[in-house]
Chain A
Amino acid sequence: MKKTATYSQENPVIRFFSSVHLAIFLLIALAVTSIIGTIIPQGQSQQFYLDNFGPTMSKLTKILHLNDTYHSWWYLSLLALFSTNLIVCTLKRLPFTLKLFKKDNLAVSSDYLTRMPYKRIWRVKDGVLDNELMQKLLSTFQKKAGSFQKKPNVDGGTLFLVEKGKWSYWGLYGVHLSILIIFLGAVFGSFYGFKGRIMLMEGETTDHAVRFDTAAPIPLGFSIRCDHFFVSFYDNGAPKEFRSDLTILEKGKEVLHKAILVNDPLEYKGVTFYQASYQAIPEVTIRVASSTGIQRSFIIPAFQKVSWPESSMTLALLKYIPNIHGVPAARIWIGDGTGQGHALWVLQGRTEKYTRGDTTYELSLVSASERYMTGLQVKKDPGVWIVWLGCTALILGFAIVFWVPHRRSWLWVGPKDGETQVILSGQTNKNKIHFEKDFRELEDSINSVLGNQ
């Protein structure tokens, strides 16, 4: 970095906030403190920390919010300080960059050119450099180096300049500002967006999701239905595909169908639905034959009670095992409507007896099937585009910082030390190896024009 005159009267606050020392300190501080949240499990209850880390650490965890390190007041303060550092530093550098950018590289003397890292001087015999040779010289210069600017009367001669990539000084601004843009996008998204989930049985419709953080319901403004869920497996048992067929409904009318996969979500009105999980929900058909001669079949889905008012009986499925000794089995709870009840295992192909009062019931498992419930992650993040913009700026800025050099090639032709001289010189601020190669080529072409004068 160009060391500029440090003004002793410079505001100490500005000096503090713009210093690279502070940037280094903050980068190291962020690197070190970020480790904490990868070692201490995040998002656990206070009791968890007490049990696992003891009372002192548990207290510390509470004070420093180590259960949510990356959103704790001190971590966010570090990030805020870092942003301030970047902003002040950028603003302070702006005038210097502008000066560099506006600098007139034609305002140089011929002596200056001879002090450049890459240079070559030809001494031409008087009268040899006539108009024709001059034209040839310039067209070679243009062909090899690019189109040039011209300035007459420089130390009695004429100066030509090819300048490229002057704008590349702004690349670093792209890099530094992009960090701020990304922060901005993250903050914007956290204020105006939400993250939640929806669990939907096949065939079910809902018009709201449940927030992750507060578990509060969030109205979607439309409805979503799960038509089907499919899961498939490879031969080795690893999952191959999870798929939900979804339908969006507006005021009861179907407006959109889409099958979503794990890497292929559905987006509608700024809300995105991701395939996150699934559950297989069993459903059994039970036949109950009572000793009074009545016989009925019930379909009992998990999590639901089915009642048979005539016998003041409620049935529920407590547990389902697809395979015990080769047959499915269900643990059925039989209630009498007052909260009292009895649980028993029913295996397919066998009947189980249950007696209440003087009536005996025979239960048998007719069939069992599984229905799927799909787990969707739901997100709205209006800030994500700002984040992507920042990421793009970061990468473009980097590519410029890394690959685009500011190159200058000068050619001066004029009388010097009692003879006619041609001075070629060049300078670059990065990738010197490549520049040197190009410079040598340019030098050789000019040399062949001037014919080793």
Chain B
Amino acid sequence: MNLSSSYLLSLTTFIYLGAAALYMIHWIFRVRQVGVLATVVTVGGFLVQTAGIILRWTESYRLGYGHAPLSNLYESLVFFSWVTILVYLVIEWRVKRRVIGAFATPFASLAMAYASFSPKVADSIEPLIPALQSNWLLAHVITCFLGYASFAVACGLGIMYLVKMKGAHHDEKPESVIGSLPRLKVLDDLMHQTIIFGFLWLSVGIITGAVWANQAWGTYWSWDPKETWSLITWFIYATALHARFVRGWAGQRIAWLSIIGFLSVIFTYFGVNFLLSGLHSYGSG
């Protein structure tokens, strides 16, 4: 059988689902070896997925209309999941806390599962229509998704924060399920770092989108629903960044903002395509 990109990418879906399950087991039963295995599986999945993406790229050239695999919903979901894993692995490597994986890898596996199994998402390689024939497409999509992936991880950290906070009163022992989560201060710091990182890339994403729109249509901003929703998302994270400078707005509200912000990301990404109409609607399908 010919090794095809869709084969590798569907395989990735299962690897990531397995990794997420391993991270969960590692967290709940606190077995160190399972955690190490989870990391190994995640890195393996990441390599398989990278190969899948590169293969898909070469396949598009063989079809005669080569372009980077970032042009439709399927490809963007795959890329989203790829960056989420990348951002997570960097955090794991720097912070050395595998528990975070239980809250971060599920986003990547869900994105892959949705891309692979939803009948709404076509995985065929399509040629680029004129509006998409621009190098700004690459810059725009890559930067936006770096932002989105960081926000997914920040959302995971926000959920961890709330879980830790709710359970903190009756379950403080370091070997318990709640106790094994990082301290609130550490989570708050990480969440803030991740949100700033995501915010930086979302800003670059919005700006590259504006430059591109200006080149393709002659307006850098036209209040199209997708643009507007990315701005709404941007406002939410700007709120989260400033919330820590207001007395009484402790980590808990920032954790909620991080979750709401990610819901807004999801709506910007899918909701706008499926529920509202606009310039970006070619992204659906």
Contact = CB atoms under 8 A, between A and B. Distances in A.
Interface of A: 1, 20-21, 23-24, 27-28, 30-31, 34-35, 37-39, 42, 70, 186, 195, 234, 236, 238-242, 261-265, 272, 274-276, 377-379, 384, 387-388, 391, 394-395, 398-399, 401-402, 433
Contacts of B204: 395
A305 to B, nearest CB: 35
Cβ-closest 10 pairs across A and B: A31-B235, A262-B130, A379-B218, A263-B134, A38-B225, A27-B239, A274-B218, A391-B207, A398-B200, A234-B127
B235 A379 contact: no
B217 interface: yes
Nearest to B136: A263
5 contacts: A39-B276, A234-B65, A236-B127, A238-B129, A395-B204
B214 interface: yes
A236 B127 CA distance: 9
Nearest to A273: B218
B203 A395 contact: yes
A42 B279 CA distance: 14
Given A37-B223, A39-B276, A262-B216, 15 more contacts: A20-B245, A24-B239, A24-B242, A24-B246, A31-B235, A38-B225, A70-B228, A240-B130, A263-B136, A265-B218, A377-B218, A379-B218, A398-B199, A398-B203, A402-B200
Nearest to A43: B223
B94 interface: yes
A242 B204 CA distance: 29
Given A38-B276, A384-B220, A433-B94, A24 B243 contact: yes
B133 A34 contact: no
B215 A265 contact: yes
A240 B133 CA distance: 9
A136 B130 CA distance: 65
B232 interface: yes
Interface residues of B, number: 45
A65 to B, nearest CB: 13
A27 B238 contact: yes
B175 interface: no
Nearest to B130: A262
Contacts of A388: 211
Interface in B211-262: 211-212, 214-221, 223, 225, 228-229, 231-232, 235-236, 238-239, 242-243, 245-246, 249
Contact of A240 (B127, B200, B232): B127
A387 to B, nearest CB: 6
Contacts of A42: 223
B126 interface: yes
Nearest to A35: B232
A42 B65 CA distance: 37
Contact of B232 (A34, A195, A262, A402): A34
Contacts of B223: 37, 42, 70
Contacts of A238: 126-127, 129
A2 to B, nearest CB: 11
A127 B158 CA distance: 57
B133 to A, nearest CB: 6
B143 to A, nearest CB: 10
